[in-house]
Amino acid sequence: MDSRAQAITDMTLVDLVSAVKARHISPVEVVAAVLRRIEAWQPRVNAFITVCAEAAVAKARVLEQQLMRGGAHGALFGAPVAVKDIVYTRGVRTTMGSRWYEDFIPDDDAAVVERIRAAGGIVIGKVNTHELAYGPTGDCSWFGPARNPHDPARMTGGSSSGSAAAVAAGLCHAAVGTDTGGSIRIPSALCGVVGMKPTFGRVSTYGVHPLAPSLDHVGPLTQSVLDNAVFLSVLAGYDRRDGQSARRPPEDFTRGVGRPVAGWRVGLPEGEWFECLHPDVAGAVDRVVRILQDLGARAVPVALPPLAEMVWALDVVQRAEVFDRYESVLAARGSDLHPEVRARMEQSAHPRGYEYVRAKRMQEVFTAAVEEVFAAVDVLLMPAVAVPAQPLGAREVELCGERRPLVATLLLRTRPFNLTGHPALAQPCGWTADGLPVAVQWVGPRFGEARLYQVAHAVEQALPQHGRRLPSCLDLPTP
């Protein structure tokens, strides 16, 4: 790639849209640069299932004509956006990463895709996903595993594997992901990008292939905190077609970005939340705490509901809802699934009715208990994931002097907030000795996303690696 094209793909979402609206860059030039970068990176990271090259170029030409007429409107004007391949796109196949749906072509766009298009965004393609969005490793897809741009021999995390890989590699300027137990935050943490799981109901799930409807969330992945706030401002909003959509007025989630956090009380959960961490993860989290103190915030220990009980309740709810959706097709075509996904789905038949009722009752209690914590603190801070990205195919990890199951390790600190529906943001905050990203997780009160963006942006500006970019794909080893 030439230096100008490289500069375009390295731009943040906000800077790119500003440059396009100022006519410093044309939408057609943007799409051409991104498509060239996809061509270079795709064989190494396998982020995309479908690249919408012709449609993207055509959309860019339409936007360029609007620009010449002075009609450059929308927060995403001219920005290439990738969409997880469980989000429906009219006329473009939507595979769910599965042989079951490899030829499925929706008749309509999902609500979030409608909003992207209305804001001037360009859908550059559909990105890889752990099959049926049912797994946190991201390496079980009918179309092959997505690979981590920082080391293609390692996993991205999942299930929004391609979304995180595409943003991290500069193959789009923002991506849509989904999160049922951590599927935005885990890949964001392992790939070094910013990922938000909004409050349950904040973003419409209309046109998003469901996994566990009472736990499913849709949210943005971006290079920076400000980009994420801008993108969520586009995606969020009430949708009558989604029965669980929250009736909230439109919000500008950037409104606190750049404001100080002096005097803020940052809750640090006691117990397992900070136990058994990879040393580089623990060190990076400690660094964030010190930054907060330098910014005038105060760390406050807080008690949350027992982590194991929260995880149990979510697991029961998720398995019951997954099996309810897929029982018949699993019986008819189970052999077409990835063996690991099939095994996990077959296990979903095990919860008993009384366990589901108990878990839903616990969900109400835990949601209220977490919300009550925010009477004493402004936000919560904890590790996003205990370990950095592991090798593709790994299913155990060495931690605290023993081998532990990787799936449970990845999900441990993210799942509770799908159960309670609180907004949670994964933010990269450092690097391991091997150059792999590590991240923290911010959690806020229900509908408190703007608060999370304010504190995360303040920390982002103070981090020593702020603004770091990936090396050229030509410098990476061939997988």
DSSP secondary structure of 229-270: HHHHHHH----TTSTT--------TTTTTT---TT-EEEEE-
Q: Among residues 323, 322, 350, 317, which one has the least CA distance to residue 416?
A: 317
- Looking at the structure of the chain, the number of domains it has is 1
Question: Which H or E element spans position 84?
Answer: strand 80-84
- Rounded to the nearest 10 degrees, the angle between the axes of helix 225-235 and helix 449-462 is 160
Helix boundaries (H) for 198-336:
225-235, 279-294, 307-333
Q: Cα separation of 438 and 432, whole Å?
A: 7
Amino acid (one-letter) located at 118:
A
What is the chain's alpha carbon radius of gyration, rounded to the nearest angstrom? Answer: 21
Pairing, β 402-405 against β 396-399: antiparallel
Question: Which H or E element spans position 465?
Answer: none
Distance of CA 80 to the CA centre of its chain: 17
Q: For position 286, what pLDDT does the model report? A: 96
Q: Report if residue 478 sits inside a domain.
A: no
Order of strands across the sheet with 265-269? Answer: 48-51, 122-127, 80-84, 174-179, 217-222, 194-197, 424-431, 437-443, 379-383, 265-269, 298-302
What is the separation, in whole angstroms, between the first and last Cα of the chain?
21
Largest CA distance in the chain: 64
pLDDT beneath 70: ranges in the chain? 1, 465-479
Please state, in angstroms and as integers, the Cα–Cα distance from residue 26 to each residue in 60, 65, 79, 82, following that order: 8, 10, 11, 19
Q: Report if residue 223 sits inside a domain.
A: yes
**Cβ neighbours of residue 123 under 8 Å, at least 6 residues apart?**
52, 55, 56, 59, 81, 82, 83, 89, 92, 113, 116, 117
Range of the domain at 164: 3-473
Q: Report if residue 248 sits inside a domain.
A: yes
Q: Report if residue 319 sits inside a domain.
A: yes
**Tens-place pLDDT, residues 94-112:** 999 999 999 999 999 999 9
Q: How many CB atoms lie within 10 A of CB 68?
A: 11
Q: Report if residue 479 sits inside a domain.
A: no
Q: Report if residue 327 sits inside a domain.
A: yes
Provide the strand spans (E) within 289-412. Answer: 298-302, 379-383, 396-399, 402-405
**Tens-place pLDDT, residues 377-391:** 999 999 999 999 999
Please state, in angstroms and as integers, the Cα–Cα distance from residue 120 to each residue in 25, 74, 269, 361, following that order: 15, 5, 41, 43
Residues identified as active-site: 84, 159, 183
Q: Cα separation of 458 and 443, whole Å?
A: 15
Pairing, β 379-383 against β 265-269: parallel
Across the strands, what pairs with 266?
299, 379
CATH of the domain at 181: 3.90.1300.10
Q: Among residues 78, 86, 37, 35, which one has the least CA distance to residue 59?
A: 78
Q: Specify whether the CB–CB gap between 299 and 334 falls below 8 A.
A: no
